[in-house]
Amino acid sequence: MSQELGITADKQRETSEWYTQVVKKAGLADYAPVKGCMVIKPYGMKLWESIKEDFDTKIQATGVDNAYFPLLIPESYLEKEEDIVEGFDPEVAWVTHGGDEELEERLAVRPTSESIIAPFMSDWIRSHRDLPMRLNQWANVVRWEATDTRPFLRTREFLWQEGHTAHASEEAADEETMLRLEQYQEVIEDHLAIPSILGYKPEHDKFPGAKYTTTIETLMPDGKSIQSGTSHQLGQHFAEAFDITFEDENSEKSTAWTTSWGLSTRTIGALIMAHGDNDGLKLPPKVAPTQVVIVPIYQEDNREEVLDYAESLKHGLEAECGCKNNVRVKLDDRDHRSPGYKFNEWELKGVPLRVEIGPNEVEDGTVTVVRRDNGEKEMGIEKSTLIADIKDRLDIIQEDMYSELEEYLEENIREASSKEEILATIGKNRGYVKAKWCGEEDSLEEIKEQVSAEIVVLPFREDSKSETILSEEDEIEGECALTGKDAKKWVYFAKNY
């Protein structure tokens, strides 16, 4: 493999450079002319489209309708909700001119859409019969990040979905909040094969104006946590600000309860970080644009028979699972590239399964199969056998990739009972530090200052993840690791992206 194509940085020792090389050399994204922005290339877009399709199917099956709202938001709309203004003002990009003329009112480039969607909900909702209203949009947002940017993980413009719902009761809004979080978990764990931790964000880190924010956190091999999706119970705060009211069953005026929830292209960054190695991407089969690549190995005198055999295998694999669940197969029959070059290129792109076919395989009616996730190579597999069990093979790869990270996650949750232990554990080890906490926000400053770590999640009670609100019986006994006062909750500290 040429140095231009191959990954030259070590993932463990040069994580940032390794990540950048994988993004660019695997053809996922490129840098845009505006600092902090990116161009998503076709291969990277296919990953996003797979994530989008998986989640969109889930939400539409549970009553969500897709819509679209404007990119540009009048400043007066943002100012109706002071928490939005305060929470996002440092990151808002403003349009001040239209052509050569200065605008009478500044327009915000969408940092989030509560302030543009809520007024329309107010217009569209009249009666309890209009509830619940569940809207979602697939869009881009701009947040003028001042910190270090990196493609997918943190960019000034990114793609996401944002769901916005209105309900007749607090209980219904609670259920909605948890349902979307659980659907995010299905995408992250089942589709992307990354284990996760569900819970709440601490008060200082919740969405501006929200009653509470729930999060799905994923642990990366460098020990940092990535927030891979959030679901917010907004209470009646936004409904009161934007007059989202309805006539209830008793013909009385009531204020709605609202939620919002979002998942972004940051999940692609998590996918790269979680599974990749020093040869490039490793993609779980469910999200991989190409699940199986067939590489024929031939000389001029046997080229035709090897290619014919490879073509028949391709058609057999594609037809095996039926039109809705076809295996995504590519036959790499490029004459100007050597087999070795192709092997390395498809490893770089993370294709889960490589099938090698040479004249010996043609003569024997067999194939040679190589797994991308663990490098395992099997020779002499009957062609018909591979066709018959291809789905099972891909399922095993998906499960094994998840299990590998699940073991890593379990090994990298360490408990600490004092501030000194927290600091020492984070300083020496990767991963999460689990500790008891009293809930005092001021007690967190020293941890953040000394080891650049913070509370990333207050985990749900382990025996009942479906609990939406932590009730009194969920509170714990013992002392806070930071203050020595009575502890109220378990928390996970970590460095994060």
pLDDT tens, residue by residue, 92-119: 999 999 999 999 999 999 999 999 999 9
Instruction: Give me the pLDDT at residue 159, please.
Output: 98
The predicted model gives 120-143 an average pLDDT of 97
Residue of higher predicted confidence among 310 and 5: 310
| Alpha helices, H only, 127-204 | 170-185
Asked if residue 53 has pLDDT above 80, the reply is yes
Percent of the chain scored above 90 by pLDDT? 88
Q: Are 262 and 167 in contact (CB under 8 A)?
A: no
d(CA 135, CA 151): 28
d(CA 307, CA 314): 10
The predicted model gives 385-412 an average pLDDT of 97
Name the average pLDDT for the chain: 93
Instruction: Give me the pLDDT at residue 145, please.
Output: 74
Instruction: Give me the pLDDT at residue 80, please.
Output: 87
Instruction: Give me the pLDDT at residue 1, please.
Output: 42
pLDDT tens digit sequence for 186-242: 999 999 999 999 999 999 999 999 999 999 999 999 999 999 999 999 999 999 999
Instruction: Give me the pLDDT at residue 405, please.
Output: 98
> Which domains, ranges and CATH numbers included, belong to the chain?
15-275 (3.30.930.10), 292-400 (3.40.50.800), 413-494 (3.30.110.30)
Q: Residue 256 — pLDDT band, cuts 50, 70, 90?
A: very high
Instruction: Give me the pLDDT at residue 463, please.
Output: 47
At a CB cut-off of 8 Å and minimum separation 6, what does 331 contact?
293, 294, 296, 310, 311, 314
Check: pTM over 0.85? Answer yes or no. Answer: yes
Asked if residue 473 has pLDDT above 90, the reply is no
Q: Are 371 and 352 in contact (CB under 8 A)?
A: yes
**Least confident piece of the model among 21-25, 60-64, 142-146:** 142-146
8-state DSSP, 146: -
Q: Residue 475 — pLDDT band, cuts 50, 70, 90?
A: low
Looking at the DSSP assignment, which residues form a beta bridge with residue 102?
97
Asked if residue 448 has pLDDT above 80, the reply is yes
Instruction: Give me the pLDDT at residue 417, please.
Output: 95
Query: Between the CA of residue 240 and those of 73, 118, 119, what are the distances in Å?
Result: 19, 10, 11
Query: Between the CA of residue 416 and those of 130, 172, 261, 461, 489, what are the distances in Å?
Result: 49, 37, 32, 18, 14
The residue type of 437 is: W
The predicted model gives 387-396 an average pLDDT of 97
Q: Residue 4 — pLDDT band, cuts 50, 70, 90?
A: low
At a CB cut-off of 8 Å and minimum separation 6, what does 206 contact?
200, 212, 213, 232
Q: Residue 86 — pLDDT band, cuts 50, 70, 90?
A: confident
Q: In which residue are the tokens 């994530």 written?
A: 51
d(CA 87, CA 144): 13
Instruction: Give me the pLDDT at residue 466, please.
Output: 46
* Residue (of 230, 216, 59, 224) closest to 134 by Cα position: 59
In 332-392, the DSSP E strands lie at 353-357, 366-371, 377-382
The predicted model gives 136-150 an average pLDDT of 89
